[in-house]
Chain A
Amino acid sequence: MEGLAAISAHNGWAMAATGATIVIIGLAILASIISQLHKIIGFFEKRGKAGSEKAESRPAPPPSVEPLTADPLSDLAATARYYRSLTSHFGDVFALAQLYQALEAADVPHPHITVRELKASGFLAPTGEGQFSWQNV
Protein backbone atom coordinates (compact mmCIF):
# COMPACT_ATOMS: atom_id res chain seq x y z
CA MET A 1 0.00 0.00 0.00
CA GLU A 2 1.37 3.42 -0.90
CA GLY A 3 0.35 7.04 -1.11
CA LEU A 4 -2.32 8.78 0.93
CA ALA A 5 -4.12 5.48 1.52
CA ALA A 6 -1.05 4.12 3.27
CA ILE A 7 -0.86 7.18 5.50
CA SER A 8 -4.52 6.86 6.47
CA ALA A 9 -4.28 3.10 6.97
CA HIS A 10 -1.40 3.50 9.42
CA ASN A 11 -2.96 6.42 11.28
CA GLY A 12 -0.24 8.70 9.95
CA TRP A 13 -2.27 11.91 9.97
CA ALA A 14 -3.22 11.49 13.62
CA MET A 15 0.34 10.60 14.65
CA ALA A 16 1.80 13.58 12.83
CA ALA A 17 -0.77 16.07 14.11
CA THR A 18 -0.69 14.79 17.69
CA GLY A 19 3.07 14.50 17.82
CA ALA A 20 3.61 17.98 16.40
CA THR A 21 1.08 19.46 18.82
CA ILE A 22 2.65 17.74 21.83
CA VAL A 23 6.19 18.88 21.04
CA ILE A 24 5.14 22.48 20.32
CA ILE A 25 3.00 22.76 23.44
CA GLY A 26 5.67 21.05 25.56
CA LEU A 27 8.43 23.40 24.46
CA ALA A 28 6.11 26.40 24.71
CA ILE A 29 5.36 25.52 28.32
CA LEU A 30 9.07 25.03 29.02
CA ALA A 31 9.83 28.40 27.42
CA SER A 32 7.10 30.06 29.52
CA ILE A 33 8.46 28.58 32.73
CA ILE A 34 12.00 29.62 31.84
CA SER A 35 10.87 33.17 31.08
CA GLN A 36 9.38 33.43 34.58
CA LEU A 37 12.09 31.48 36.40
CA HIS A 38 14.20 34.53 37.23
CA LYS A 39 11.15 36.31 38.66
CA ILE A 40 10.21 33.30 40.80
CA ILE A 41 13.77 33.01 42.10
CA GLY A 42 13.90 36.76 42.72
CA PHE A 43 10.63 36.61 44.67
CA PHE A 44 11.93 33.91 47.00
CA GLU A 45 15.25 35.72 47.40
CA LYS A 46 13.47 38.94 48.40
CA ARG A 47 11.40 37.07 50.95
CA GLY A 48 14.56 35.58 52.36
CA LYS A 49 16.26 38.99 52.54
CA ALA A 50 13.22 40.59 54.20
CA GLY A 51 13.29 37.90 56.85
CA SER A 52 16.97 38.42 57.58
CA GLU A 53 16.55 42.22 57.59
CA LYS A 54 13.80 41.86 60.16
CA ALA A 55 16.14 39.80 62.28
CA GLU A 56 18.87 42.44 61.92
CA SER A 57 16.56 45.36 62.73
CA ARG A 58 15.46 43.89 66.01
CA PRO A 59 15.52 46.58 68.72
CA ALA A 60 19.05 47.13 69.96
CA PRO A 61 19.74 46.01 73.50
CA PRO A 62 19.78 48.83 76.02
CA PRO A 63 23.05 50.77 75.83
CA SER A 64 25.62 49.92 78.43
CA VAL A 65 26.46 53.64 78.72
CA GLU A 66 24.10 56.40 79.84
CA PRO A 67 22.46 58.30 76.97
CA LEU A 68 24.10 61.56 75.99
CA THR A 69 22.50 64.65 77.44
CA ALA A 70 24.90 67.26 76.09
CA ASP A 71 25.53 68.27 72.49
CA PRO A 72 27.07 65.13 70.85
CA LEU A 73 29.51 67.24 68.87
CA SER A 74 30.96 68.88 71.96
CA ASP A 75 32.56 65.67 73.26
CA LEU A 76 33.19 63.31 70.35
CA ALA A 77 34.96 60.73 72.53
CA ALA A 78 31.90 60.35 74.78
CA THR A 79 29.65 60.32 71.74
CA ALA A 80 31.79 57.60 70.20
CA ARG A 81 31.58 55.52 73.39
CA TYR A 82 27.81 55.92 73.44
CA TYR A 83 27.41 55.07 69.76
CA ARG A 84 29.70 52.06 70.24
CA SER A 85 27.46 50.76 72.98
CA LEU A 86 24.52 50.92 70.60
CA THR A 87 26.40 48.79 68.02
CA SER A 88 28.04 46.30 70.38
CA HIS A 89 25.70 43.49 69.24
CA PHE A 90 26.82 43.92 65.60
CA GLY A 91 30.36 42.88 66.44
CA ASP A 92 33.63 44.69 65.82
CA VAL A 93 32.87 45.38 62.16
CA PHE A 94 29.55 46.69 60.86
CA ALA A 95 27.95 48.59 58.01
CA LEU A 96 26.96 52.22 58.29
CA ALA A 97 23.36 51.26 57.52
CA GLN A 98 23.34 49.13 60.68
CA LEU A 99 24.72 52.03 62.73
CA TYR A 100 21.98 54.36 61.45
CA GLN A 101 19.30 51.77 62.22
CA ALA A 102 20.58 51.46 65.79
CA LEU A 103 20.71 55.27 66.17
CA GLU A 104 17.19 55.63 64.82
CA ALA A 105 15.93 52.96 67.21
CA ALA A 106 17.56 54.82 70.12
CA ASP A 107 16.06 58.16 68.97
CA VAL A 108 19.48 59.80 68.70
CA PRO A 109 19.21 63.32 67.23
CA HIS A 110 21.23 64.45 64.17
CA PRO A 111 22.94 61.13 63.56
CA HIS A 112 24.29 61.97 60.10
CA ILE A 113 26.20 65.08 61.17
CA THR A 114 27.57 63.29 64.20
CA VAL A 115 28.63 60.24 62.22
CA ARG A 116 30.39 62.51 59.72
CA GLU A 117 32.30 64.17 62.53
CA LEU A 118 33.19 60.82 64.07
CA LYS A 119 34.59 59.65 60.72
CA ALA A 120 36.54 62.88 60.28
CA SER A 121 38.02 62.60 63.73
CA GLY A 122 39.04 58.97 63.27
CA PHE A 123 36.80 57.40 65.91
CA LEU A 124 34.87 55.66 63.11
CA ALA A 125 37.27 54.14 60.57
CA PRO A 126 36.56 52.20 57.37
CA THR A 127 37.86 48.61 57.22
CA GLY A 128 37.04 48.07 53.53
CA GLU A 129 34.07 46.74 51.51
CA GLY A 130 31.69 49.24 53.08
CA GLN A 131 32.39 48.11 56.67
CA PHE A 132 33.46 50.28 59.62
CA SER A 133 34.86 49.77 63.10
CA TRP A 134 35.45 51.89 66.21
CA GLN A 135 38.99 53.13 66.81
CA ASN A 136 40.44 54.57 70.06
CA VAL A 137 37.11 54.13 71.84
Chain B
Amino acid sequence: MDLFLDFLQNTGWYMLDYRYVLMICIGILFCYLAIAKDYEPLLLLPIGFGVIIGNLPFFKGFGLGIYENNSVLHYLYFGVTTGLYPSIVFLGLGAMTDFSSLLARPKLMMMGAAAQMGIYFTLLSALALGFAPREAGSIAIIGGADGPTSIFLTAKLAPHLIGPIAIAAYSYMALIPLIQPPIMRLLTTKAERRIHMPEEGRQVSRKEQLFFPIVGVLLCCLLAPASIPLLGPFFFGNLMKVSGVVDRLAKTAASSIIDTATIFLGITVGASTQADVFLSTKSVGIFFLGSVAFSLATASGLIAGKIMNLFLKEKINPLLGAAGVSAVPGSAREVHLVGQKSDPTNYLLMDAMACNASGVIGSAICAGILWSFLL
Protein backbone atom coordinates (compact mmCIF):
# COMPACT_ATOMS: atom_id res chain seq x y z
CA MET B 1 0.00 0.00 0.00
CA ASP B 2 2.87 2.38 0.86
CA LEU B 3 4.42 1.54 -2.46
CA PHE B 4 1.17 2.39 -4.24
CA LEU B 5 0.87 5.68 -2.33
CA ASP B 6 4.49 6.53 -3.18
CA PHE B 7 3.72 5.83 -6.80
CA LEU B 8 0.67 8.11 -6.72
CA GLN B 9 2.72 10.91 -5.21
CA ASN B 10 5.20 10.58 -8.05
CA THR B 11 2.60 10.96 -10.76
CA GLY B 12 1.99 14.17 -12.63
CA TRP B 13 -1.58 14.27 -11.34
CA TYR B 14 -0.34 14.75 -7.81
CA MET B 15 2.05 17.53 -8.78
CA LEU B 16 -0.48 19.38 -10.96
CA ASP B 17 -1.54 22.81 -9.82
CA TYR B 18 -3.77 25.51 -11.30
CA ARG B 19 -0.91 27.20 -13.16
CA TYR B 20 -0.03 24.08 -15.11
CA VAL B 21 -3.71 23.44 -15.84
CA LEU B 22 -4.08 26.98 -17.16
CA MET B 23 -1.05 26.62 -19.42
CA ILE B 24 -2.23 23.24 -20.70
CA CYS B 25 -5.57 24.85 -21.53
CA ILE B 26 -3.70 27.59 -23.43
CA GLY B 27 -1.81 24.90 -25.33
CA ILE B 28 -5.06 23.14 -26.20
CA LEU B 29 -6.52 26.48 -27.31
CA PHE B 30 -3.59 27.02 -29.68
CA CYS B 31 -4.06 23.53 -31.12
CA TYR B 32 -7.75 24.26 -31.59
CA LEU B 33 -7.07 27.58 -33.34
CA ALA B 34 -4.58 25.85 -35.61
CA ILE B 35 -6.76 22.87 -36.53
CA ALA B 36 -10.32 24.20 -36.44
CA LYS B 37 -9.74 27.82 -37.44
CA ASP B 38 -6.65 27.34 -39.63
CA TYR B 39 -4.83 30.17 -37.83
CA GLU B 40 -1.17 29.79 -38.88
CA PRO B 41 -1.26 26.04 -38.26
CA LEU B 42 2.37 25.47 -39.23
CA LEU B 43 3.35 27.51 -36.20
CA LEU B 44 0.51 27.29 -33.71
CA LEU B 45 0.16 23.51 -33.76
CA PRO B 46 3.78 22.72 -32.75
CA ILE B 47 3.78 25.60 -30.27
CA GLY B 48 0.45 24.58 -28.81
CA PHE B 49 1.51 20.99 -28.33
CA GLY B 50 4.84 22.14 -26.96
CA VAL B 51 3.01 24.21 -24.35
CA ILE B 52 1.10 21.10 -23.31
CA ILE B 53 4.13 18.84 -22.91
CA GLY B 54 6.20 21.63 -21.34
CA ASN B 55 3.63 22.07 -18.58
CA LEU B 56 3.22 18.44 -17.61
CA PRO B 57 4.72 18.34 -14.11
CA PHE B 58 7.60 16.00 -13.33
CA PHE B 59 10.31 15.46 -10.79
CA LYS B 60 13.15 17.88 -11.21
CA GLY B 61 16.62 16.43 -11.55
CA PHE B 62 15.78 13.42 -13.70
CA GLY B 63 16.76 15.05 -16.97
CA LEU B 64 13.18 15.39 -18.20
CA GLY B 65 12.46 19.08 -18.46
CA ILE B 66 13.54 21.44 -21.19
CA TYR B 67 15.69 23.44 -18.78
CA GLU B 68 17.48 20.37 -17.42
CA ASN B 69 20.80 19.32 -18.88
CA ASN B 70 20.88 16.00 -20.70
CA SER B 71 17.17 16.00 -21.42
CA VAL B 72 16.01 15.38 -24.97
CA LEU B 73 14.03 18.59 -25.03
CA HIS B 74 17.05 20.50 -23.78
CA TYR B 75 19.15 19.20 -26.65
CA LEU B 76 16.43 20.17 -29.11
CA TYR B 77 16.10 23.57 -27.40
CA PHE B 78 19.75 24.17 -28.26
CA GLY B 79 18.62 25.20 -31.73
CA VAL B 80 16.49 27.96 -30.22
CA THR B 81 18.97 29.34 -27.71
CA THR B 82 21.78 29.47 -30.26
CA GLY B 83 19.63 30.92 -33.04
CA LEU B 84 20.21 27.85 -35.22
CA TYR B 85 16.56 27.12 -36.04
CA PRO B 86 15.73 30.70 -37.11
CA SER B 87 18.72 30.67 -39.46
CA ILE B 88 17.56 27.40 -41.01
CA VAL B 89 14.01 28.73 -41.34
CA PHE B 90 15.35 31.80 -43.13
CA LEU B 91 17.28 29.53 -45.51
CA GLY B 92 14.03 27.87 -46.45
CA LEU B 93 12.19 31.20 -46.65
CA GLY B 94 14.75 32.50 -49.12
CA ALA B 95 14.37 29.37 -51.21
CA MET B 96 10.61 29.91 -51.31
CA THR B 97 10.54 33.66 -51.95
CA ASP B 98 10.02 35.09 -55.42
CA PHE B 99 11.53 38.58 -55.55
CA SER B 100 10.47 39.37 -59.11
CA SER B 101 7.56 41.58 -57.96
CA LEU B 102 9.91 43.55 -55.73
CA LEU B 103 12.55 43.81 -58.46
CA ALA B 104 9.93 45.10 -60.89
CA ARG B 105 8.70 47.78 -58.43
CA PRO B 106 11.64 48.63 -56.15
CA LYS B 107 9.93 51.67 -54.60
CA LEU B 108 7.67 49.26 -52.72
CA MET B 109 10.72 48.42 -50.63
CA MET B 110 10.08 51.66 -48.74
CA MET B 111 6.85 50.15 -47.42
CA GLY B 112 8.90 47.42 -45.78
CA ALA B 113 11.22 50.04 -44.33
CA ALA B 114 8.36 52.17 -42.98
CA ALA B 115 6.62 49.24 -41.31
CA GLN B 116 9.73 48.61 -39.21
CA MET B 117 9.09 51.92 -37.41
CA GLY B 118 6.68 49.96 -35.24
CA ILE B 119 9.72 48.20 -33.80
CA TYR B 120 11.30 51.43 -32.63
CA PHE B 121 8.09 52.91 -31.24
CA THR B 122 7.64 49.70 -29.25
CA LEU B 123 11.23 49.90 -28.03
CA LEU B 124 10.43 53.30 -26.55
CA SER B 125 7.17 52.02 -25.08
CA ALA B 126 8.87 49.02 -23.47
CA LEU B 127 11.57 51.20 -21.95
CA ALA B 128 8.88 53.57 -20.66
CA LEU B 129 7.08 50.65 -19.00
CA GLY B 130 10.21 49.79 -17.06
CA PHE B 131 11.63 46.89 -19.04
CA ALA B 132 15.41 46.58 -19.14
CA PRO B 133 17.00 47.66 -22.46
CA ARG B 134 17.74 44.10 -23.65
CA GLU B 135 14.22 43.01 -22.74
CA ALA B 136 12.80 46.07 -24.46
CA GLY B 137 14.77 45.25 -27.62
CA SER B 138 13.46 41.69 -27.61
CA ILE B 139 9.87 42.87 -27.12
CA ALA B 140 10.23 45.55 -29.80
CA ILE B 141 11.20 43.04 -32.50
CA ILE B 142 7.71 41.56 -32.21
CA GLY B 143 6.73 44.58 -34.31
CA GLY B 144 8.67 43.07 -37.18
CA ALA B 145 5.96 40.38 -37.29
CA ASP B 146 8.59 37.74 -37.94
CA GLY B 147 8.61 34.74 -35.61
CA PRO B 148 12.10 33.42 -36.36
CA THR B 149 13.59 36.90 -36.11
CA SER B 150 11.86 37.49 -32.77
CA ILE B 151 13.15 34.19 -31.41
CA PHE B 152 16.63 34.81 -32.77
CA LEU B 153 16.99 38.23 -31.17
CA THR B 154 15.38 37.21 -27.90
CA ALA B 155 17.73 34.22 -27.64
CA LYS B 156 20.63 36.66 -27.89
CA LEU B 157 19.34 39.49 -25.71
CA ALA B 158 16.84 38.08 -23.22
CA PRO B 159 16.68 34.27 -23.37
CA HIS B 160 14.47 34.13 -20.28
CA LEU B 161 11.72 35.81 -22.31
CA ILE B 162 11.81 33.48 -25.33
CA GLY B 163 8.60 31.74 -24.29
CA PRO B 164 6.28 34.74 -23.84
CA ILE B 165 7.79 36.68 -26.75
CA ALA B 166 7.50 33.75 -29.16
CA ILE B 167 3.94 33.05 -28.05
CA ALA B 168 3.07 36.74 -28.41
CA ALA B 169 4.74 37.04 -31.82
CA TYR B 170 3.12 33.95 -33.29
CA SER B 171 -0.24 34.66 -31.71
CA TYR B 172 -0.40 38.09 -33.25
CA MET B 173 0.78 36.74 -36.59
CA ALA B 174 -2.07 34.27 -36.44
CA LEU B 175 -4.48 37.08 -35.53
CA ILE B 176 -3.50 39.32 -38.45
CA PRO B 177 -6.96 38.89 -40.04
CA LEU B 178 -8.37 40.49 -36.89
CA ILE B 179 -5.70 43.11 -36.18
CA GLN B 180 -4.84 44.64 -39.54
CA PRO B 181 -8.13 45.22 -41.40
CA PRO B 182 -9.61 47.70 -38.88
CA ILE B 183 -6.37 49.71 -38.89
CA MET B 184 -6.32 49.66 -42.69
CA ARG B 185 -9.89 50.96 -42.87
CA LEU B 186 -9.23 53.56 -40.19
CA LEU B 187 -6.17 55.09 -41.83
CA THR B 188 -7.20 55.01 -45.49
CA THR B 189 -10.11 56.48 -47.41
CA LYS B 190 -12.26 54.44 -49.75
CA ALA B 191 -10.81 56.32 -52.70
CA GLU B 192 -7.31 55.40 -51.61
CA ARG B 193 -8.23 51.76 -51.16
CA ARG B 194 -9.54 51.73 -54.72
CA ILE B 195 -6.26 52.85 -56.28
CA HIS B 196 -5.16 50.30 -58.84
CA MET B 197 -1.51 49.42 -59.17
CA PRO B 198 -0.10 49.25 -62.71
CA GLU B 199 -1.08 45.91 -64.13
CA GLU B 200 2.07 45.07 -65.96
CA GLY B 201 5.30 45.53 -64.08
CA ARG B 202 8.61 45.54 -65.89
CA GLN B 203 9.69 42.10 -67.00
CA VAL B 204 12.47 41.01 -64.65
CA SER B 205 15.31 39.10 -66.27
CA ARG B 206 16.95 36.03 -64.83
CA LYS B 207 20.23 37.93 -64.48
CA GLU B 208 18.55 40.49 -62.22
CA GLN B 209 17.17 37.71 -60.07
CA LEU B 210 20.66 36.23 -59.90
CA PHE B 211 22.36 39.49 -58.95
CA PHE B 212 19.78 40.52 -56.36
CA PRO B 213 20.74 38.05 -53.59
CA ILE B 214 24.42 38.92 -54.03
CA VAL B 215 23.75 42.67 -53.93
CA GLY B 216 21.28 42.22 -51.08
CA VAL B 217 23.54 40.20 -48.84
CA LEU B 218 26.51 42.49 -49.44
CA LEU B 219 24.56 45.68 -48.79
CA CYS B 220 22.48 44.50 -45.84
CA CYS B 221 25.15 42.51 -44.04
CA LEU B 222 27.84 45.13 -44.50
CA LEU B 223 25.38 47.66 -43.06
CA ALA B 224 24.34 45.46 -40.14
CA PRO B 225 26.77 42.54 -39.69
CA ALA B 226 24.71 41.23 -36.79
CA SER B 227 22.03 40.27 -39.31
CA ILE B 228 24.38 37.83 -41.09
CA PRO B 229 22.94 34.71 -39.34
CA LEU B 230 19.50 35.57 -40.75
CA LEU B 231 20.08 37.36 -44.04
CA GLY B 232 23.06 35.24 -45.08
CA PRO B 233 21.03 32.01 -45.26
CA PHE B 234 18.02 33.96 -46.58
CA PHE B 235 19.79 35.31 -49.63
CA PHE B 236 21.68 32.03 -50.11
CA GLY B 237 18.37 30.17 -50.22
CA ASN B 238 17.10 32.62 -52.82
CA LEU B 239 20.26 32.27 -54.89
CA MET B 240 19.88 28.51 -54.87
CA LYS B 241 16.31 28.92 -56.11
CA VAL B 242 17.02 31.30 -58.96
CA SER B 243 20.33 29.80 -60.10
CA GLY B 244 18.56 26.77 -61.52
CA VAL B 245 21.67 24.63 -61.09
CA VAL B 246 20.95 23.30 -57.60
CA ASP B 247 17.23 22.63 -57.85
CA ARG B 248 17.55 19.62 -55.60
CA LEU B 249 19.14 21.68 -52.83
CA ALA B 250 16.66 24.52 -53.24
CA LYS B 251 13.70 22.16 -53.06
CA THR B 252 15.11 20.45 -49.98
CA ALA B 253 15.71 23.80 -48.26
CA ALA B 254 12.18 24.92 -49.11
CA SER B 255 10.56 21.72 -47.87
CA SER B 256 12.24 19.15 -45.62
CA ILE B 257 14.78 21.42 -43.97
CA ILE B 258 12.46 24.31 -43.15
CA ASP B 259 9.72 21.91 -42.05
CA THR B 260 12.09 20.08 -39.70
CA ALA B 261 13.33 23.32 -38.20
CA THR B 262 9.76 24.61 -37.85
CA ILE B 263 8.68 21.49 -35.98
CA PHE B 264 11.55 21.58 -33.49
CA LEU B 265 11.39 25.35 -33.15
CA GLY B 266 7.68 25.34 -32.43
CA ILE B 267 7.62 22.43 -30.04
CA THR B 268 10.62 23.57 -27.99
CA VAL B 269 9.48 27.19 -27.83
CA GLY B 270 6.10 25.95 -26.65
CA ALA B 271 7.72 23.64 -24.10
CA SER B 272 9.80 26.54 -22.78
CA THR B 273 6.66 28.43 -21.71
CA GLN B 274 6.45 26.85 -18.32
CA ALA B 275 3.83 28.19 -15.96
CA ASP B 276 6.18 29.68 -13.40
CA VAL B 277 7.91 31.73 -16.12
CA PHE B 278 4.99 32.48 -18.38
CA LEU B 279 2.28 33.44 -15.90
CA SER B 280 3.69 36.72 -14.68
CA THR B 281 2.99 40.45 -15.01
CA LYS B 282 5.91 40.64 -17.43
CA SER B 283 4.11 38.30 -19.82
CA VAL B 284 1.00 40.45 -19.65
CA GLY B 285 3.14 43.46 -20.44
CA ILE B 286 4.75 41.60 -23.33
CA PHE B 287 1.39 40.64 -24.78
CA PHE B 288 0.15 44.21 -24.48
CA LEU B 289 3.29 45.62 -26.08
CA GLY B 290 3.14 42.96 -28.79
CA SER B 291 -0.29 44.20 -29.85
CA VAL B 292 1.05 47.78 -29.77
CA ALA B 293 4.01 46.72 -31.91
CA PHE B 294 1.84 45.03 -34.54
CA SER B 295 -0.60 47.90 -34.70
CA LEU B 296 2.11 50.55 -34.93
CA ALA B 297 3.95 48.60 -37.63
CA THR B 298 0.77 48.36 -39.69
CA ALA B 299 -0.04 52.03 -39.14
CA SER B 300 3.52 53.11 -40.03
CA GLY B 301 3.39 51.28 -43.32
CA LEU B 302 -0.02 52.74 -44.20
CA ILE B 303 1.05 56.28 -43.35
CA ALA B 304 4.25 55.83 -45.37
CA GLY B 305 2.13 54.90 -48.38
CA LYS B 306 0.05 58.03 -47.97
CA ILE B 307 3.17 60.19 -47.64
CA MET B 308 4.72 58.61 -50.74
CA ASN B 309 1.58 59.49 -52.70
CA LEU B 310 2.18 63.17 -51.95
CA PHE B 311 5.30 63.00 -54.09
CA LEU B 312 4.49 60.33 -56.68
CA LYS B 313 2.86 61.10 -60.00
CA GLU B 314 1.62 57.53 -60.32
CA LYS B 315 -0.11 56.89 -57.01
CA ILE B 316 0.35 53.65 -55.12
CA ASN B 317 -2.35 52.00 -53.05
CA PRO B 318 -1.49 52.88 -49.40
CA LEU B 319 -2.95 49.56 -48.24
CA LEU B 320 0.32 48.05 -49.43
CA GLY B 321 2.01 49.66 -46.45
CA ALA B 322 0.25 47.18 -44.17
CA ALA B 323 1.98 44.40 -46.08
CA GLY B 324 5.35 45.89 -45.15
CA VAL B 325 5.27 43.82 -41.98
CA SER B 326 7.14 40.58 -42.28
CA ALA B 327 4.16 38.25 -41.82
CA VAL B 328 4.38 36.35 -45.11
CA PRO B 329 1.89 35.69 -46.70
CA GLY B 330 -0.83 36.52 -44.16
CA SER B 331 -0.57 40.31 -44.31
CA ALA B 332 -0.30 40.30 -48.12
CA ARG B 333 -3.47 38.25 -48.27
CA GLU B 334 -5.30 40.64 -45.90
CA VAL B 335 -4.22 43.69 -47.90
CA HIS B 336 -5.51 42.03 -51.07
CA LEU B 337 -8.83 41.12 -49.43
CA VAL B 338 -9.39 44.61 -48.00
CA GLY B 339 -8.59 46.10 -51.40
CA GLN B 340 -11.05 43.77 -53.07
CA LYS B 341 -13.81 44.71 -50.64
CA SER B 342 -13.55 48.30 -51.86
CA ASP B 343 -13.11 47.30 -55.50
CA PRO B 344 -13.53 43.66 -56.55
CA THR B 345 -11.46 44.31 -59.68
CA ASN B 346 -8.45 45.48 -57.67
CA TYR B 347 -5.71 42.83 -57.60
CA LEU B 348 -3.09 43.79 -55.03
CA LEU B 349 -1.65 40.41 -54.10
CA MET B 350 1.59 40.48 -56.12
CA ASP B 351 2.42 44.04 -55.05
CA ALA B 352 1.60 43.15 -51.44
CA MET B 353 3.94 40.14 -51.65
CA ALA B 354 6.69 42.51 -52.82
CA CYS B 355 6.14 44.62 -49.69
CA ASN B 356 6.09 41.47 -47.56
CA ALA B 357 9.45 40.38 -48.98
CA SER B 358 10.99 43.77 -48.22
CA GLY B 359 9.54 43.52 -44.71
CA VAL B 360 11.42 40.26 -44.15
CA ILE B 361 14.67 41.98 -45.11
CA GLY B 362 13.82 45.06 -43.06
CA SER B 363 12.96 43.16 -39.88
CA ALA B 364 16.17 41.12 -40.11
CA ILE B 365 18.20 44.33 -40.51
CA CYS B 366 16.40 45.80 -37.49
CA ALA B 367 17.24 42.70 -35.46
CA GLY B 368 20.88 43.10 -36.40
CA ILE B 369 20.81 46.80 -35.50
CA LEU B 370 19.16 46.19 -32.12
CA TRP B 371 21.58 43.36 -31.33
CA SER B 372 24.55 45.57 -32.11
CA PHE B 373 23.10 48.44 -30.01
CA LEU B 374 22.31 46.25 -27.01
CA LEU B 375 25.30 43.88 -26.96
Contacts and interface: CB of A to CB of B under 8 A. Distances in A.
Main secondary structure of the interface of B (DSSP, over half): helix
19 contacts: A2-B128, A2-B130, A12-B124, A15-B370, A19-B120, A19-B123, A22-B224, A23-B113, A24-B114, A26-B224, A26-B365, A27-B361, A30-B215, A30-B216, A31-B107, A34-B106, A35-B106, A37-B215, A41-B208
**The 7 residue pairs across chains A and B that have the minimum distance between CB atoms:** A16-B120, A31-B109, A27-B113, A34-B106, A31-B106, A35-B106, A12-B127
A32 B216 CA distance: 12
The winner among A2, A10, A19, A33 for most chain B CB atoms within 10 A is A19
Nearest to A15: B373
B212 A6 contact: no
A19 B110 contact: no
Interface string A24-56: 101111111111011001000000000000000
A22 B208 CA distance: 25
B220 A26 contact: yes
Main secondary structure of the interface of A (DSSP, over half): helix
B211 interface: yes
Contact of A34 (B112, B212, B223, B370): B212
Nearest to A9: B127
B288 to A, nearest CB: 14
B267 interface: no
B212 A27 contact: no
Contact of B124 (A16, A23, A26, A37): A16
B130 A16 contact: no
The winner among A13, A18, A27, A35 for most chain B CB atoms within 10 A is A27
Contact of B362 (A6, A12, A23, A38): A23
A137 interface: no
Contacts of A1: 130
Interface residues of A, number: 32
A113 interface: no
Interface string B342-375: 0000000000000000100110011001100110
Interface in A78-96: none
A62 interface: no
Given A37-B211, A37-B212, A38-B208, A30 B133 contact: no
B373 A20 contact: no
A27 B127 contact: no
A128 interface: no
Nearest to A34: B106
B230 interface: no
A68 interface: no
Interface stretch (B16-24, B199-207, B258-266): B199-207
B165 interface: no
Interface in B112-155: 112-114, 116-117, 119-121, 123-124, 127-130, 133, 136
The winner among A19, A23, A28 for most chain B CB atoms within 10 A is A23
B338 to A, nearest CB: 24
Contacts of A30: 109, 215-216, 219-220, 361
Contact of A19 (B103, B114, B366): B366
Contact of B128 (A7, A23, A35): A7
B121 to A, nearest CB: 7
Contacts of A35: 106-107
A125 to B, nearest CB: 35
B117 A20 contact: yes
The winner among A1, A4, A38, A41 for most chain B CB atoms within 10 A is A38
Contact of B369 (A22, A28, A29, A41): A22
A23 B202 CA distance: 26
